[in-house]
Amino acid sequence: MTRETPQKVPLLRDERFWRIAIQVIVLAIVGAIALILIANLNQNLRQQGTVFGFNFLRNPAGFSIGDTPISYRTNDPYLRALAVGLVNSLRVIGAGFILTTILGVMAGIASFSENWLLRKLSLVYVELVRNIPLLLQLFFWYFAVFFQLPPVQDKLNVGGVLFLSKRGVALPWPANLSATWLSLAALGAIAIAVFFLWQWRTHMMVEQGTSGQPQLIALAALGLTALFILSFGLSWQVPQDTGTTIRGGLQLSIEFAAILAGLVVYTSAFIAEIVRAGIQAVPKGQWEAARSLGLKSGLVMRLVVFPQALRVIIPGLNSQYMNLAKNSSLAIAIGYPDIYSVANTTYNQTGRPVEVFLLIMAAYLVINLIVSLLMNKLNQAVQLTER
């Protein structure tokens, strides 16, 4: 019996060779285009008498910034000015994530309410807001709402704790004391304990059929403790009206309030639709099974439907968070000094648009990569696991 030897395929007729060769050719073309662009950039910079680099960031900025959460003077370097702009952007993005999640989830759940008025209000809100351009809404919030507030002498006083005027919004805020930070650490520990206690209660109810009453009592005790710490442990500073100005508390400029309100209201409309789609993706059998156990509508949503809907909601939520972060660059339209606004002034003064735009793109890229990483971790945590 003779053994057959496989016939060798010619190189030019080998499919694997052409797959690799085509990829190498495409990479070579992309690399050549990049080299041409870089050479063109260097030639243009030489014609302008400059060299690519970031040493200009050490030069004094020489311009003022209206909203400075960290210390800043006009003779500080450009790097410090860009850091102020970055912190301002992170303030808007961080507060936007929290508020838009609350409003979007509430609006999404309201679309399933048995209350006719609440259901229709949710529908009107979503259809009205998401069909109007964001830039137009920002102008509305700034020029038609916050810019029309009275001067500080005639400010609006809401219960002696909230003041609204053309100078800004003043509201209570925890004092920067060691006791405040200890209270915040205690609240964080309570939040972790509540999470694990809730998981334990669910496990006991599902796996062993217990009532979960002891864990519920413990949760109530933790809730009361957290409420006590929130009320008395954070050393709240209430704004004080001195007649011509407001002192103490948290002072927000009308530009910050307008960009935050615009982003939250706009993004929440899309999140409401994502939540609605996620809830509708839960099979009707799950609703009927929960109701057959005697659960009321609120418990059906909280214990059965919404946890399953999270698997559909979170990927869409990730996209909306990243959209909010990128849309915050529209703050320049209403004069809020975010990183794009500060960078715009920087490259106008220094004549370094390439370097400055690279810094801006790197900042937004890092922010969105971090958001995407955290949301992917959360998505993995809520997925079903095989037993």
Query: Among candidates 145, 163, 141, which has minimal Cα distance to 154?
Result: 163
Specify whether the CB–CB gap between 52 and 300 falls below 8 A.
no
Specify whether the CB–CB gap between 251 and 170 falls below 8 A.
yes
- Give the DSSP letter of residue 305: I
The pair of three-digit structure tokens given for residue 258, joined into one six-digit string: 């307008």
CATH number at residue 325: 1.10.3720.10
Q: Of the ranges 64-68, 286-290, 351-355, 371-375, which is most confident?
A: 371-375
Beta pairing partners, 171: 250
Q: Is 331 part of any domain?
A: yes
Q: Is 35 part of any domain?
A: no
Query: Is the pLDDT at 2 greater than 60, yes or no?
Result: no
- Give the DSSP letter of residue 142: I
Specify whether the CB–CB gap between 254 and 142 falls below 8 A.
yes
What pLDDT does residue 384 have? 63
Query: Among candidates 87, 79, 91, 45, which has minimal Cα distance to 356?
Result: 79
Q: Is 362 part of any domain?
A: yes
Overall average pLDDT of the 221-227 stretch: 91
Query: Is the pLDDT at 387 greater than 60, yes or no?
Result: no
Q: Is 324 part of any domain?
A: yes
Global confidence as pTM: 0.81
As a whole-number percent, the residues of the chain with pLDDT over 70 amount to 97
Overall average pLDDT of the 323-333 stretch: 94
- Residues 272-297 have pLDDT tens digits of 999 999 888 888 888 888 888 777 77
Task: Report the distance separating Cα 354 and Cα 371, nearest Å.
Answer: 26
- Give the DSSP letter of residue 352: -
* Phi-psi group of 14: left, alpha or beta (phi > 0 → left; psi -120 to 50 → alpha; rest → beta): beta
Number of domains in the chain: 1
Q: Which amino acid is at 354?
A: V
Q: Is 195 part of any domain?
A: no
- Residues 7-27 have pLDDT tens digits of 777 777 888 888 999 999 999
The mean pLDDT value of the chain amounts to 88
Task: Report the distance separating Cα 342 and Cα 357, nearest Å.
Answer: 11
Q: Please write down the long-range contacts of 281-284, taking CB distance under 8 Å and 24 or more positions apart.
A: 281/309, 281/312, 282/308, 282/309
Overall average pLDDT of the 261-267 stretch: 96
Residue 168, classed as helix, strand or coil, is strand
Q: Is 6 part of any domain?
A: no
Beta pairing partners, 246: 241
Specify whether the CB–CB gap between 347 and 356 falls below 8 A.
yes
The residue among 63 and 6 whose pLDDT is bigger is 63
Q: Is 290 part of any domain?
A: yes
Q: Is 58 part of any domain?
A: no
Q: Which domain holds residue 313?
A: 78-153+250-381
